[in-house]
Amino acid sequence: MTADTDYAAGVALSPTGGLALLEPEPSDDDPAWLTEARRSASDWVGAHGFPTRKDEDWRYTRLESILTVPFERASPGLNHRRALTAINGLGVGLGGARLLFVNGHFAPELSRVDELPTGAIVTNLASVLAEGDERLEPVFSRTLAPFHHAFAALNTALTDDGAFVSLPAGVTVEAPIELVFYSEANGAPLVSNPRSVVLAGPGSQATIVETHTGLPGEVYCTNAVTEVVLEPGAVVEHYKIQNEADSAFHLALLDVRQDRESRFSSHVFALGSHIARHEVRVNLEGEGADVSLDGLYMPRRDQHHDNPVLVVHAAPRATSRQLYKGVVDEHGHGVFNGHIVVRPGAAGTDARQTNKNLLLSDDAEIDTRPRLEILTDDVKCAHGAAVGRLDEEALFYLRSRGVPEQTARAILTYAFAREMVDLIPLEPLRARVENLVADRLATSRNEETT
Amino acid sequence: MLSIENLHAKIGDNEILRGLSLELKAGEVQALMGPNGSGKSTLANVLAGHEAYDVTGQVLFEGEDLLAMSPEDRAVAGIFLAFQHPVEIPGVGNFYFMRTALNSLRRQRGLDEIDAMDFLELAKKKMELVEMDPSFMSRSVNEGFSGGEKKRNEILQMAILEPRLAILDETDSGLDIDALRVVANGVNALRSNDRAMLVITHHQRLLDYIVPDRVHVMAEGRIVRSGDKELARALEKHGYVGFDEVSLEPSVSVAATP
């Protein structure tokens, strides 16, 4: 594949694997349980290795091109000017706290946390770990055992930092909490392993906006894990904007645990990266929990966007809804791999899953795989997948009114994608995403023809 | 303005237009009638540039070879088709669509674009003409519109885009008498000396409101008879029976029919 050579330009490939060789470095700041957790995570990777295409959840993603790059761990060196440019490029702020990470390391001088309600904490994870906060031990160990895969384990073994959000019972943080992860390689390919934790106490509410971006043309890898724990009645909205450099790799796990009557929603917008995989796992552990997962992925050129989703209904009367849309152009490859499991005893489950795709070129590729695994009676489950092309009659209609063909295609494509943008209730964020999506459609083909 | 000579169009092996010829001058309104399947809508689509057809023959618009142009270039040249079945486009706002269309035309004609405020004023004025509620501008293009609302929306676009040649494809079909009057008023308001219209209809009724300068009858992909507006009345009385077999003598005058 050309991809391996394109993105490894100037980088000697390592047949034995760069990521596989990375080891945790003992740190005096880590509490003993964390040192142990890192050690056993690293051992797990050593014993089990990285996934292959024989693994059901990884069959659509070519990992060779990631595993053969000799990635090194990023050190805390910062380029303020470029990081600032990246932040400014995000557009208008959302009015709340903003934490910035450069190559996985916290940049306090570029971050801002204004007043928060009493008891609420928004800070970087490393500072909390250094204090030995024991609340984190079960959170870390849950993702540890059993391991989902080597990348999550690697994150535990290697993570330098990430965000930590903690909301006490009944507290609402009104303004969105923004987490910005900016990466650049500075010559050698770098990997960062941001780990973020959101603990939402009973009846608390918050909105988290996670943005991943990087310096164009650089080869780097983001291997991110975000864990969200919702206690009874908590409400958390999570937004993820994956706008990495087109030469980057992005692997992410959003791991969510919901107690009774809690509500979680996730909106993911996948635009960047050469290969990106955004995995969402939701465990509905409490009665009447509600989750809604939305996604828009737009691979073009030879981008690959994989979206594995697992929703486990482990308690009665919980509801889940998934709506993922793909817009695939040129040689892009989009994957939706959605899996709903209804455990025995999860009576009154209401689960829905929809995946719709728009193919814009003959070389574009889609794999869609909605799966239902129902182990109890008395459930309402629905799933569906569709793959289509632009409506030729609508295209003719627009052109007959004088709209040039390329513009007409972009208008109709945006009409397909905008449903996902319109699902963002937060006005300044919706405007930001709208611009990103519109810019993407405006540049999709023109760059090649002009 | 428009000169069609020996036009043939087919889809696969199915030949729909079989040597159609027609002349249309600036300022004229001509009506094209004929039974279902005679090729009226195909002619409209071919003139607008629909790519489903294999087309041969010659069509000159203002002396230019129309068949060599893309649909958008034809619109820029001044051609407008009011569709028989306007397509619904979910997710594309009607206001945005019409402003984009107008500005696309203006840009390609070397004119300045119209900003949103000015366009709003223009659209309001034109909506009064077709008695359309402004709320339709904030909905998706034709989505959930009734048959009559879709037809008004077509005439609204025509009023905003001000084409040189308007082709109205069965704009009257499915309209009740009030809607028909509104649509006809909209069309009549646009009649002018430098604009031509080709009104395709199955029924004579529309021609009571939009009085044509000339009437043509189509059958089996050709014009088999032409006359003045009285030809339409004769058709209303006697129907199309016999027309598809009638000799191909041109322009039999039926003005004397009682």
CB contact under 8 A, B75 and A399: yes
Nearest CA of chain B to the CA of A316: how many Å?
36
Residue A74 DSSP code? P
Mutate to test the interface with B, among A356, A390, A391, A399 (most CBs of B within 10 A): A399
Residues A110, B116: Cα–Cα separation, whole Å: 38
Residue A384 DSSP code? E
Q: Cβ distance A175 to A95 under 8 Å?
A: yes
Q: Cβ distance B9 to B46 under 8 Å?
A: yes
Size (chain A), residues: 450
Question: Coil, strand, or helix at residue A421?
Answer: helix
User: Is the CB of residue A82 less than 8 Å away from at least one CB of chain B?
Assistant: no
Q: Element (H or E) spanning A220, and its range?
A: strand A220-230
Largest CA distance in chain B: 57
What is the pLDDT, as a whole number, of residue B10? 95
Q: Which residues contact B156 (CB under 8 A, 6 or more apart)?
A: B98, B123, B126, B127, B129, B130, B132, B186
Q: Cβ distance A379 to A349 under 8 Å?
A: yes
Output the CATH code of domain B2-238: 3.40.50.300
Question: Coil, strand, or helix at residue A273?
Answer: coil
Q: Cβ distance A337 to A308 under 8 Å?
A: yes
3-state secondary structure A123-176: EEHHHHHHCCCCCHHHHHHHHHCCCCCHHHHHHHHHCCCCEEEEECCCCECCCC
Q: Element (H or E) spanning A408, and its range?
A: helix A405-422
How many other CB atoms sit within 10 Å of the CB of residue A240? 22
Residue numbers in chain A where pLDDT is lower than 50: 1-13, 15, 446-450
Tell me the mean pLDDT per 10 residues along chain B, length 258: 96 94 95 91 96 96 96 97 96 94 96 94 93 91 93 95 96 87 90 95 87 93 90 79 51 41
What is the pLDDT, as a whole number, of residue A192? 95
Q: Cβ distance A193 to A104 under 8 Å?
A: yes
User: Is the CB of residue B99 less than 8 Å away from at least one CB of chain A?
Assistant: no
User: Pseudo-torsion of CA A282, A286, A291, A297, nearest 10°?
Assistant: 0
User: Is the CB of residue A343 less than 8 Å away from at least one CB of chain B?
Assistant: no
Taking alpha carbons only, the member of A347, A357, A359 closest to residue A325 is A357
Residue with tokens 């330098």: A160
| Burial zone of A145 (CB within 10 Å; 0-12 exposed, 13-18 middle, 19+ buried) | exposed
Look up residue A326 and give its amino acid. G
How many other CB atoms sit within 10 Å of the CB of residue B27? 14
What is the pLDDT, as a whole number, of residue A146? 63
User: Is the CB of residue A403 less than 8 Å away from at least one CB of chain B?
Assistant: yes
What is the pLDDT, as a whole number, of residue B244? 53
Mutate to test the interface with A, among B66, B104, B109, B168 (most CBs of A within 10 A): B104
Mutate to test the interface with B, among A401, A405, A416 (most CBs of B within 10 A): A401
b/e map A267-295, b = 16+ CB within 10 Å: bbbbbbbbbbbbbbbbbbbbbbbbbbbbb
Report the DSSP pairing between strands B89-93 and B79-82: unpaired
CB contact under 8 A, A402 and B83: no
User: Is the CB of residue B53 less than 8 Å away from at least one CB of chain A?
Assistant: no
Question: Coil, strand, or helix at residue A107?
Answer: coil
Residues A311, A325: Cα–Cα separation, whole Å: 18
Nearest CA of chain A to the CA of B135: how many Å?
20
Q: How far apart are the first and last CA of chain A?
A: 26
Q: Measured between beta carbons, which residues in chain B are less than 8 angstroms from residue A401?
A: 75, 80, 97, 101, 104-105, 157, 161
Residue in chain B nearest A414 by alpha carbon: B91
Q: What backbone phi and psi angles, to 5 degrees, belong to B69? A: -95, 150
CB contact under 8 A, B89 and A401: no
Residues A28, A45: Cα–Cα separation, whole Å: 23
Cis check for the bond before A168: say yes or no (omega within 30 of 0): no
Look up residue A314 and give its amino acid. A
Taking alpha carbons only, the member of B87, B60, B84 closest to residue B74 is B60
This complex has an ipTM of 0.93
Tens digit of each residue's pLDDT (9 = 90 or more) over A200-257: 999 999 999 999 999 988 899 999 999 999 999 999 999 999 999 999 999 999 999 9
Nearest CA of chain B to the CA of A391: how many Å?
9
How many other CB atoms sit within 10 Å of the CB of residue B85? 14
Residues B42, A149: Cα–Cα separation, whole Å: 59
What is the pLDDT, as a whole number, of residue B243? 63
Taking alpha carbons only, the member of B175, B183, B189, B113 closest to residue B153 is B183
Q: Cβ distance A294 to A268 under 8 Å?
A: yes
CB contact under 8 A, B90 and A415: yes
User: Is the CB of residue B90 less than 8 Å away from at least one CB of chain A?
Assistant: yes
Q: What backbone phi and psi angles, to 5 degrees, belong to A413? A: -65, -45
Residue with tokens 């009030």: B178
Q: How far apart are the first and last CA of chain B?
A: 34
Helix axes B147-161, B177-189, angle to 10 degrees: 10
Taking alpha carbons only, the member of B54, B43, B50, B48 closest to residue B21 is B43
Distance, C-alpha A28 to centroid of its chain = 30
User: Is the CB of residue B18 less than 8 Å away from at least one CB of chain A?
Assistant: no
- What is the DSSP track for chain B? -EEEEEEEEEETTEEEEEEEEEEE-TT-EEEEE--TTSSHHHHHHHHHT-TTSEEEEEEEETTEEGGGS-HHHHHHHTEEEE-SSPPPEEEEEHHHHHHHHHHHHHHHTTPPPPPHHHHHHHHHHHHHHTT--GGGGGSEETTT--HHHHHHHHHHHHHHH--SEEEEESTTTT--HHHHHHHHHHHHHT--TT-EEEEE-S-STHHHHS--SEEEEEETTEEEEEESTHHHHHHHHH-STTTTTS---S----TT--
Look up residue A448 and give its amino acid. E
How many other CB atoms sit within 10 Å of the CB of residue A78? 17
* Closest residue to B104, CB basis, from A393, A403, A418: A403
Q: Measured between beta carbons, which residues in chain B are less than 8 angstroms from residue A391?
A: 87, 89
Give the residue extent of every domain in chain A: 2-286, 391-450
Q: Measured between beta carbons, which residues in chain B are less than 8 angstroms from residue A394?
A: 87, 89
Residues A440, A272: Cα–Cα separation, whole Å: 10
pTM above 0.90, yes or no: no
